[in-house]
Chain A
Amino acid sequence: MEVLVFLVPLALALGFVGLLGFLWSLKSGQYDDLDGAAWRAIADDQPVSDHGRSK
């Protein structure tokens, strides 16, 4: 059971990283246009403009 000492912090850290990822995606405006994002995923090629976000 000593493995818990190692596994539990790891699990918590992973969860925390996931949360940070979510907060980052929220801040960078990825939930602003859910309809558009769905289509962008299957667009043939990315528009040239994709190096800057509107926000």
Chain B
Amino acid sequence: MQADIDFSHYLKDTGSGLVHLDLAVEGISCAGCMAKIERNLASIPDVASARVNLTDSRLALEWKAGAFDPAMFVSRLADLGYKAYPFERDNAETLEAQRAQGLLRRLGVAAFAAMNVMMLSVPVWSGNVSDMLPEQRDFFHWLSALIVLPAAAYSAQPFFSSALSALRARGVNMDVPISIGIVLALATSVIETVNHTEHAYFDAAIMLIAFLLAGRFLDQNMRRRTRAFAGNLAALKAETATKFVSPTEIKTVPAAAIRPGDIVLLRPGERCAVDGNVIEGRSEIDQSLITGETLPAMAAPGSAVFAGTVIRSGTLRVRASAASGGTLLDEISRLLDHALQARSRYLRLAERASRLYAPVVHATALLTMIGWLAYGASFHDSIVTAIAVLIITCPCALGLAIPAVQTVASGALFGSGVLLNAGDAIERIAEIDRVIFDKTGTLTLPELDVANLAEIPHDVVKLAGRLALSSRHPVAAAVARRAGVASPLPDIQEEPGQGVHGFHEGRPIRLGRPSFCGAGDLANGILCRDPEASIVAFSHGESKYAFAVRQRLRPDAAEVVAGLARMGIAVEIVSGDREPAVRLTAEVLGVHEWRAEVSPVDKIARIDELARQGCKLLMVGDGLNDAPALAAAHASMSPVTATHMSQAVADAVFVGERLAPVLAAVKVSRKALRLMRQNLWLAVVYNVLAVPIAIAGLVTPLIAAAAMSGSSVIVMLNALRARAREAI
């Protein structure tokens, strides 16, 4: 299956006669795997390098151009016991990685400068109380300036540029007081050095920059890691499409290589990987991932199909399109844009803190200056004291307080199968008091399953499963999967759109539509009880059975709903599916509030209505029809099987068959928010203690440096408490 994929899309020419390929490898878990893979692949002649990245579970290969077919590596890795898929870094991931590296470079520069300046500052601090000559002190101050000024100009750029853009937009963010603090500290120090006075704050300024950059880097690294993991997940799905390379010839290519206008062949049982319009063929299609509707729809020339649609009966030719003419997609994009604008108005905790913080601090500094002037101090002394207030209150702990908790909490969430898309997701998930679940694909599993297995004799299930292996219809495939059989029956014919038939032990055997097997009555009986099920009938001679195939609830859905209720969070189901199906799910889960046949517009309307009542909503959904609602809700989560668009707008994505990550996300986020608030309070307490000393004019550079690093370390240590395991 893998071997016939065209890899050329992923190959990169390095320029020196070597070809480069990146593979995402499933199952690399330890150093042993790393050594095994590298040793095995590197022993192949003409392979220039094989290097595993253990953090991201990836393998980078380089070999002499034209020496082998890349598929050889995939099969070789399969022999070693690893599944490998080619992948391409998407733009978002490349950008996050570049930002993380840029911040690390600046952090390195700031940290090296801080270390070297400390070497000069310690003698000055100890010299001030002993016998250092003023000339020597000035000389050391000038050296500090030589190191710190260029280092600060380079490494503090992220703060300056962010502060500038905030000021241009006539707003204030946390970077404004930070930038003012840094600039004033440096300017005072230079002026003080020129005037041969005792106190210069070069060390405090550069240390502040280093600590703040550490906070930014932690934040950025968390995002980079999430992106890398999401990239792997996308690669592991190994989405391929069958493309017409000429009017008669087809080729299997990665979905990423399909361009608008390409014509793609879709066969029964396949999941469509592109958006487009049908140009030829008719088929039943399962659009549950798109609309939430579990009953199949009919596709004919002219109808739009979306990525994620499963083809059921016939074969379709589809022209891939970038801007689909499908009204659904257009409408969803429009709703989505609108909802995303609304979300960008959310103020993060750090921003809210800094809105309070900046005016208070600047007013305190101003009052200090006025107070000292009124008290009769010289203009110079008053200004120096006011600046000392600014330096000591510079929000070093504030800059670390939130990123540190976020990093630790996102690590904990990672462990429970939740990947965060947005940095402020933790804050928003922590605040929710109501959860809206989509039904199809969210409360239920995306794969079909046989519901009435207990009513059918075991040997019949086995036989039906072996017959079903000859069909590509997804409903039949569910029977085969559940029967757990591997040997298809011989001499079976497929009747398109009807089912499969043949002979077994001298009697005719059939599997397919109830009418095809003469089991219409049985099917009607089941449909009365379970209107949502798809029926696949089976007949062997005179004996007839009907399998009810449907989407099964996630195994722990009921527990999670109960768990949320215990935490005082209301649960509601809002689905695009028909009423009987939604009612049944709601009854099984014990959810009292549910709505069925809800359009994307109505989903948003419901969310707005609840938001007006003051509810903070967590929307959990997977379909394309959920995407606007995911963006509109206060916070949102998607399963990893969701459509691309939903995953992209959701705050967090969860992996696996279970729903427990939703509960874990709420619990961890609440704990993390508590720690963030604590950290902010710690920063406030520190200021309450330090500011009077600064106002009194008693702050020396030594006190400033010690206070700054002390508060940062305390905040960091407190953040580490988020790692403590929460019983989930």
Contact = CB atoms under 8 A, between A and B. Distances in A.
Interface of A: 1, 4, 8, 11-12, 15, 18-19, 22-23, 26, 31-36, 39-40, 42-44, 47-49, 51-55
A39 B31 contact: yes
Interface in B23-72: 30-31, 34-35, 38-39, 41-43, 47-56, 60, 62
A14 B680 CA distance: 39
A51 B53 CA distance: 16
B166 to A, nearest CB: 29
B51 A54 contact: yes
A46 B49 CA distance: 13
Contacts of B303: none
Contacts of A32: 53, 55
B104 A36 contact: no
Listed residue (A34, A44, A54) with the most chain B CB atoms within 10 angstroms of its CB: A54
Given A15-B115, A48-B39, A36 B108 contact: no
B684 interface: no
Contacts of B139: 4
Given A49-B39, A52-B48, A54-B62, 4 more contacts: A36-B31, A39-B54, A47-B35, A49-B41
Contacts of B43: 48
Nearest to B56: A33
A31 to B, nearest CB: 6
Interface of B: 20, 30-31, 34-35, 38-39, 41-43, 47-56, 60, 62, 101, 104-105, 108-109, 112, 115-116, 119, 136, 139, 143, 146-147
Contact of B105 (A23, A33, A47): A23
30 contacts: A12-B146, A15-B115, A15-B147, A19-B112, A22-B108, A22-B112, A23-B105, A23-B108, A26-B108, A31-B104, A33-B53, A34-B55, A36-B34, A36-B52, A36-B54, A39-B31, A39-B54, A40-B31, A42-B31, A43-B31, A47-B39, A47-B50, A49-B39, A49-B41, A49-B47, A49-B48, A49-B50, A51-B49, A52-B49, A54-B62
Listed residue (A15, A18, A49) with the most chain B CB atoms within 10 angstroms of its CB: A49
Contacts of A47: 35, 38-39, 42, 50
A44 to B, nearest CB: 8
A8 B139 CA distance: 10
A44 B109 CA distance: 35
B513 to A, nearest CB: 53
The 3 closest A-B pairs by CB, nearest first: A49-B42, A39-B31, A54-B60
Given A11-B116, A23-B108, A43-B35, A36 B53 contact: yes
Contacts of A22: 108, 112
B591 to A, nearest CB: 42
Contacts of A15: 112, 115-116, 119, 147
Nearest to B48: A52
Contact of A49 (B51, B53, B112): B51
B221 to A, nearest CB: 10
A52 B109 CA distance: 27
A48 B45 CA distance: 11
Contacts of B31: 36, 39-40, 42-43
Contacts of A26: 101, 104-105, 108
Contacts of A31: 101, 104
A33 B54 contact: yes
B143 to A, nearest CB: 7
A34 to B, nearest CB: 6
Contacts of B56: 33
A35 B109 CA distance: 24
B108 A19 contact: yes
Contact of A11 (B54, B60, B104, B119): B119
Contacts of A55: 60
Contacts of A51: 49
Nearest to B18: A52
B415 to A, nearest CB: 15
A33 B147 CA distance: 31
A44 B31 CA distance: 11
Contacts of B47: 49
Nearest to A14: B116
Contact of A8 (B35, B41, B101, B143): B143
A52 to B, nearest CB: 4
A42 B41 CA distance: 21
A18 B116 CA distance: 10
B392 to A, nearest CB: 27
Nearest to B30: A39
Nearest to B40: A47
A12 B35 contact: no
Contact of A18 (B34, B35, B112, B143): B112
Contact of B55 (A1, A36, A43, A54): A36
Contacts of B48: 49, 52
Contacts of B119: 11, 15
Nearest to B60: A54
Contacts of A42: 31
A51 B38 CA distance: 12
Listed residue (A11, A36, A42, A44) with the most chain B CB atoms within 10 angstroms of its CB: A36
A14 to B, nearest CB: 9
Contacts of B62: 52, 54
A10 B49 CA distance: 40
Contacts of B116: 11-12, 15
Contacts of A34: 55
Nearest to B54: A36
Contacts of B35: 43-44, 47
Nearest to A48: B42
Nearest to A18: B112
Contacts of B50: 47, 49
A53 B112 CA distance: 26
A35 to B, nearest CB: 4
B169 to A, nearest CB: 33
A4 B43 CA distance: 55
Contacts of A48: 39, 42-43
A47 B109 CA distance: 33
A12 B112 contact: no
Given A12-B147, A15-B116, A39-B31, A53 B101 contact: no
